[in-house]
Amino acid sequence: MSRRLPARSRPASAFGFLAIFCLAFGASGVPGRAALFYDVTLDLGLRDDSRIFLNVTNDYFAPPPMVAVELLRRCPAPEDDYPVILFLSRVSKRPPEEILRLRLDYLSWPDIMVRMNISPAVLFAGIDRDPGPPYGKAWGYWRKHPRGERIPLRERDVVELAKIQIAARTQRVSPDALVAERNKGNTMEHYVAEKNRHKYPKSKSAKGPSRGGGREKPKGHGKPHDRD
């Protein structure tokens, strides 16, 4: 007569499977829910600083993993577009997919902010002193017209100021201090990467040519209108 195992011992196999699953996805040191996103950033061929900044941004805003991957893959210039999309999504409480659709429709970031009724104030939060070039003109106009719908923002201004706000939130540093770092020539990607490099080690299996930190021309899309 065979001996039946006690019912309470059966979950052991399920537990073992879960442990193997967690080990497989946590081997790189990246949390399981972020492992898929991490792997995709390795395949983009970005510089280390840009790759780490993307992962820190993703961990902070924490969109659902498959949503994050789909957004990242569809961004014309992921190293710039993905952080701005998540930032504008958070401050506007609108789905990131909606912002990406506007971006893929060739709209510039200043135009997208106007279309979604996002105040420029979100970009200047915590910047209490004139940041100087290249943001000083826009900052000065905003201080005089805080409720104005349009200020002389350039495409690159929105990207850099959004990254300053993200770096401030993720590293718990004042935006004013980060503007000072930026004026010394220290990019936000490098600043954030230096503090988080140990969390996102680069795998030798990373694929794709290095594109650097610059903007890549979208394939099959026209260049968004820039208000420089």
The tokens for 216 are: 């890549």
Q: What is the dihedral of CA 171, 173, 174, 178, to 10 degrees?
A: -80
Task: With CA atoms as reference, report the closest residue to 112 among 124, 121, 102.
Answer: 102
- Tell me how many domains the chain contains: 1
Residue 109: inside a domain: yes
According to the model, what pLDDT value does residue 211 have? 43
Residue 2: inside a domain: no
Instruction: Name residue 53's amino acid.
Output: F
Residue 4: inside a domain: no
Residue 11: inside a domain: no
Residue 19: inside a domain: no
According to the model, what pLDDT value does residue 102 have? 97
> Residues 6 or more apart from 86 whose CB is under 8 A from it?
57, 58, 61, 63, 96, 166
- What does the alpha-carbon distance between residue 114 and residue 119 come to, in Å, rounded to a whole number? 8
Residue 22: inside a domain: no
Task: With CA atoms as reference, report the closest residue to 56 among 174, 207, 194.
Answer: 194
Contact between 119 and 92 under an 8 Å Cβ cutoff? The reply is no
Write out the residue range of the structural domain in which residue 54 sits.
32-199
Residue 182: inside a domain: yes
pLDDT per residue of the chain (228 residues) written in tens, 0 to 9: 444 444 433 343 333 333 333 334 444 456 566 789 999 999 998 999 999 999 999 999 999 999 999 999 999 999 999 999 999 999 999 999 999 999 999 999 999 999 999 988 899 999 888 887 777 677 777 777 666 556 778 899 999 999 999 999 999 999 999 999 998 999 999 999 999 999 998 764 444 443 444 333 433 444 455 544
Residue 37: inside a domain: yes
Contact between 28 and 36 under an 8 Å Cβ cutoff? The reply is no
